[in-house]
Amino acid sequence: LDTPLFSGLPGDVDVSFEFFPPKTEKMEAQLWDAVQQLKVLAPEFVSVTYGAGGSTRERTHATVSRIIKEAHLPAAAHLTCVGATKAEIREVAEQYWEAGVRHIVALRGDAGEPGAPFTPHPEGYAGAAELVKGLKEIADFDISVAAYPETHPDADCPQACIDHLKRKLDAGASRAITQFFFSPETFFEYRDKLAASGIDKLVIPGILPVTNVATARKFAGACGAIIPDWMDGLFEGLDEKPAARQLVAATVAAELCRRLYAGGVRNLHFYTLNRPDLAYAICHMLGKRPVGEKAAEAAVTGEAA
Ligand code: FAD
């Protein structure tokens, strides 16, 4: 793709950043540092993950509330329905609403063991599409859902996975965020298939800058993502060289983003793993610059700076 190597990219990309809720005070400090560092890029939103089965229920709530109150960023709370009754989901959703959360990333989640089939709770939602519908009945949330360019492992075929995404969007979700992937063509082909299936809502590529292939490979299979073989070659011999691995990770992810940009993509969602540097550097290379605290807050509230 012909966009010259990062020269003069204007930064006209809307970005969002995903965090996970911290377990310890040290992790909390690390997360907060990441939020502060990325905040100046005026993200469209940031989001905080939710342990399937509600294992991070309090921590997700506390993290999202703090980001809204103290960083004044629009924060989306993830919410999974696996293992929960509809009444429990209602309680969590109502607590989010009371805390000022207006955006939920609505997910099914996975049952305990990796690869175990999903069985809905007898008094719960049958999947993410039903969850979206249920949340819309609770309050007028802005809802995002998950999409799988390389097909979710539970899908009978790629088209069934796309049809299911359409059900989630038709149930009231405004946009989808994709599972991570590593080839721009994967996204472009998926985008064409979505259009052919009548999906016209925003589908935001999820970007995971990988610094450790072995770790990424461990969880990729279970979540509908493929780590290409060429990645092993790129990281070969770098096990004991963390700084070199960071540089390789940044280069691979930045090049993916540049090619997505060249193909017309103007929204990117970064899986930050609570570390700001790679996401910040990639945004910088795409031309994004800090807008200053006041301007960042104005950009997200829609007020004049
Ligand atoms: P669903 O969309 O309900 O189903 C998953 C897939 O199963 C579908 O894509 C489809 O292929 C198939 N399927 C399901 N029902 C049907 C049907 N009726 N007909 C045909 N096919 C069907 N997990 C967490 O635990 N916490 C998080 O915070 C979290 N955040 C995530 C954020 C993003 C952006 C993504 C991409 C994933 C996230 N996950 C999270 C992982 C997610 O919970 C898992 O991938 C889970 O296996 C599926 O959840 P879902 O909402 O996509 O489910």
Residue 9: per-residue pLDDT: 87
> What distance in angstroms lies between residue 216's CA and the mean position of ligand 1's atoms?
18
Separation CA 201–CA 177 (nearest Å): 11
DSSP string, 197-208: TT--SEEEEEE-
Is the CB of residue 160 below 6 angstroms from any atom belonging to ligand 1? Answer: yes
Q: Which residue has the tokens 């007898």?
A: 122
Is the CB of residue 54 below 6 angstroms from any atom belonging to ligand 1? Answer: no
Is the CB of residue 52 below 6 angstroms from any atom belonging to ligand 1? Answer: yes
| Residue whose CA lies nearest to ligand 1 atom number 43 | 109
Is the CB of residue 152 below 6 angstroms from any atom belonging to ligand 1? Answer: yes
> Which residues make Cβ contacts (< 8 Å) with residue 174, sequence separation at least 6?
142, 143, 144, 201, 202
Best residue among 107, 190, 202 to mutate for probing ligand 1's pocket (most ligand atoms within 8 Å of CB) is 107
The answer to whether 180 and 207 are in contact (CB under 8 A) is yes
Per-residue pLDDT tens, the chain, 305 aa: give them.
Answer: 556 677 878 899 999 999 999 999 999 999 999 999 999 999 999 999 999 888 899 999 999 999 999 999 999 999 999 999 999 999 999 999 999 999 999 999 998 776 778 899 999 999 999 999 999 999 999 999 999 999 999 999 999 999 999 999 999 999 999 999 999 999 999 999 999 999 999 999 999 999 989 888 888 877 889 999 999 999 999 999 999 999 999 999 999 999 999 999 999 999 999 999 999 999 999 999 998 755 656 566 665 54
Q: Which two tokens stand for residue 174?
A: 């405004």
The predicted complex's ipTM stands at 0.98
The answer to whether 102 and 64 are in contact (CB under 8 A) is no
Residue 6: per-residue pLDDT: 78
| Residue whose CA lies nearest to ligand 1 atom number 53 | 108
Separation CA 278–CA 104 (nearest Å): 25
Task: Return the exposure string of 275-299: e unless at least 16 CB atoms fall within 10 Å of the residue's CB, then b.
Answer: bbebbbbbbbbbebebbeeeebbeb
First to last CA, the chain: 36
User: Catalytic residue at 44?
Assistant: no
Question: What is the DSSP-derived secondary structure letter of residue 71?
Answer: I
The answer to whether 52 and 109 are in contact (CB under 8 A) is yes
